[in-house]
Chains A and B, each alone.
Chain A
Amino acid sequence: MTAPEPGYSADEMMTVAAARELRGTRVCFVGIGLPSLAANLARQLHQPDLVLIYESGTIGAKPSRPPLSVGDGELAETADLVVSMPEIFAYWLQGGRIQVGFLGGAQIDRFGNLNTTVIGPYERPQVRLPGAGGAPEIAWCAQRVVVIMRHRRRAFVERLGFLTTPGLCPGDPERGGALGKGPTAVITDLGVLRPDPATQELVLSELHPGVDPDRVRAETGWHLREAADLGRTAPPTAQELDVLRRLSSE
């Protein structure tokens, strides 16, 4: 039996779900790529006053399209202010002024720890990834973190090759003195994972429309538990898809 074509892709569902996750957010520190697309979608859909901060020092950037890099000219030209890198990290991020840190990653584990450094041994890696960027301090200092990643078994792993960016700490909701509480949602193209308040472990909290929970388990390298109140994501609305497609065209 073939399921009917839903009229949108799994990536579009992921981006729409991530944009919805920013509802009620005032200030968001945005990583490049998937986070930037979703944050710009949120700003155009339901959060026109969402303040987007990129690590290039652009605060309140209003790009018409998601930029290719964190330092594209349009970010600086449309920003409320542009500050130096010492200032963006010291005053704005470490100063506790960011509500949501919005990140991607190459690998994630059951506690939302991220690896963007290496696959294989550090000294002689099979794959050398770009490295930390601003993610460790964003994850440490933002009031909460939202992660967006495609759900694949090689990415959702039992054991990280390298722990670049700390997530949740089992047994320590204070996360060893961090300013923020860490990842509160991991949005994927199959569903949404959220931490179990008792164990801090990420559990399957929502399934996107038409996704079988067995498929999510098959694409997760650890034994993925389900939330007691496992929900279904509402499919993208025509308006959400329309705005997203306009943003991502070109």
Chain B
Amino acid sequence: MKPLDPRLLGYARAARVFLAAGAVIGLAQTACIVGFAWFLSQVIVRAIHGQSLDELAPMIAALAGVVIARALLLWIAEVTSTRGAARVKSQLRSRVLTAVTELGPGWMAARNATSVATVTGPGLDALDTYFSRYLPQLILTAIATPVVVLVIFLQDWPSALGVVLTLPIIPVFMILIGWATQTVQKKQWRLLNSLSTSFLDVVGGLATLTLFGRAARQAERIRSVTEQYRVQTMKVLRVSFLSGFVLELVSSLAVAVVAVSVGLRLIDGSLGLSVGLFVLLLAPEAFLPLRQVGTQFHAAADGVAAADDVFEILDAASAGASATRSNAGADIAIVRMSDGPSAGALRLSGFAAGYDDRPVIGPIDAEFPAGSFTAITGPSGVGKSTLVAALLGFVAHTGAVTLDGHAIEAGATGLDWISWCGQRPGLFAGSVFENVALASRAPDRAMAARALAIAAADEIDLDRMLGVAGAGLSGGQAQRVSIARAVYRALERHSAVLVLDEPSSALDELSEARLVDGLRTLTESATITLIVVTHREALARAADSILSLEPAAMAA
């Protein structure tokens, strides 16, 4: 694990400010550590040598000053790190979200959307402890430890030697013990993993266990599995706790060694008490930051892992950007060409598409006459949704697409010629009206109501408020609202083509029949080429023609 990924500084400018501020604060904190030890030892030594409280007043005031400064610095450090974390997170989030939208749905299709959302949302929160605990401690260690050792060296070199000789033991042992822990863990990783999830497994499957009359006898199993989990985990902990043990042992032994050696040299008079006490107070401070970095190790590992996930997306986006920049000029020409509604036949010739050079569909030739209603059918996996995704430009395709004889580069998104409704409803929090009129240039309630009627969803109130992901609607209702959204866009932008992917998969037969009626009225009242991907016989039967994709076409 890298303690600090240089990409963090590259992608989040706020991180640089944070590091600079951290260095300044760390330096000031180090000064306080040395000052506190110095003034405290001076006051004690001078008092022992007979100075009165009045004579020592300036010295004690200075000590109080250092104490106040130390407290202030702790406060400032905390505030800076919280701010730093918040700023860096904001910057990274906004960059990564922009990157995700640039990479587009084609990239997302190969990934688990929820986990991408977790990475960009709550995942980045792991950076909180990374910034507020680990990094400041790391900076402080990098500054305080050498400075403190140097000060000890200037005062009493034998003590410094003792510290310098013991310090390296810590990282060496930490690494060795880290390896040993990993080995122990790896050996029983599978076992530990299944033991740790088995309680969840039993509780999660409680309904199933009850159905099969097995619930009651699981208590004993939970007990024995947890007991096994304890035995196995303790095996790992016995090794991994050694690292803490070494840290504490080395640092406290170093203090003991310094104390005894200073004590012995005081007895023979080769060292003054003021130096001895000063060095004794400083010696633990050389180890303290290092120990604290050790305890923040997990926070660091989580933070680095979270940042890694983000950098992966950002790197992918910058690689993709340089690859597509070459054909940016072509896009502009196409946007101009397909401006405004165009009503004509949609023709595909030699059309093939796939993901990552793996062909999924085609090459096929097909024609969809203007104003026709075509159902695309075929077994799962034959590439129906890929065909749609390629028309929308989510995945690359080869071959030609023409609309009314004009070539269309499917894939130039932002085009009005095609409107689409996918398999998932994909609704948002907000009113039904806001959902139906998504990205509308001039939201129109009458048109939204008409779209709902066409989608057989006229019983749903336009002003009804939906929760996140359209929560509050049943599956069938959500599907019809999303169809209405596509219909609205097709009406508003005079799209030549409307594509609906499995629009009736969540509908019962009655609703499906009403949807068919609605779509019929749409094709009758507007010149719109309707393409429906479906498995439902009733819907396919309602179409003018059926384009049946066979697995054979895939093999070609």
Do these two chains interact?
no
**Chain B interface residues (CB < 8 Å from chain A):** none
**Chain A interface residues (CB < 8 Å from chain B):** none
